[in-house]
Amino acid sequence: MATNYPTNQDTFSTKIDNETDVIAEHVNKLQECVLALEKKLGTSLSSGDPVYTAIAYFLEHASGAYRTHIHDGSSDDGAKIPGASLINLHTISDATQIPAVNLSSFFGLTNKDPLNASDVFIIEDSQASYAKKKITMSALRSGFVDLTTAQTIAGVKVLADNLNFNKKQAVGLCIENLTADPTGADLVTGRIWFRTDIS
């Protein structure tokens, strides 16, 4: 009797010692089942005997190496699929690629504006093997000045680039007060200061 696999699973009767006559058909059926499993699993494609319905076909290149790349639709690859990183999903534009899921709609996300200091973000810490951690909005703002609203800035802030007033007034601006003239690298073109130690 031929095996039913892989269309359906096979059924077997339980054999009992000293009661059941074991005949050749019993052994042949087991052999056919094993062979059917081997065909479904497949052999290495590098052996030159690819079975396109076998599991091995979907796991290996023609070279025999296991697929660990992004399928590009060439050679023995299947349809194009995106990489594992969600960061790259927005770059998918090829009609043959699997479409990206709209994550906002999928998770029922809505926009949050304005943000509160207690709002929490999930990050991957590059200094801790990219372990997932949470950080609050207030911690993100630490060390930064939000110039979109009126701010009271305490302490000395060092600019990494020019400050563009965008044709607006610098209200309450006080020229730099010094008790000695700047020298060396501190003496730059355009710097203005008043000496408070000279009467």
Q: What percent of the chain has pLDDT over 90?
A: 3
CA–CA gap between residue 107 and residue 149 (Å, rounded): 32
**71-128, pLDDT tens digit by residue?**
555 555 555 544 444 444 445 555 555 555 566 666 677 888 888 888 988 888 889 8
pTM summary value:
0.30
User: DSSP string spanning 75-117?
Assistant: TT--S----S-GGGGGG---TTSPPPP-HHHHTT-----SPPT
CA–CA gap between residue 162 and residue 179 (Å, rounded): 25
Q: Which residues contact 116 (CB under 8 A, 6 or more apart)?
A: 137
CA–CA gap between residue 92 and residue 81 (Å, rounded): 9
Q: In terms of pLDDT, which residue wins out, 122 or 157?
A: 122
Q: Which residues contact 162 (CB under 8 A, 6 or more apart)?
A: none
CA–CA gap between residue 59 and residue 49 (Å, rounded): 15
CA–CA gap between residue 132 and residue 110 (Å, rounded): 22
Query: Do 24 and 53 meet the contact criterion of CB atoms below 8 Å apart?
Result: no
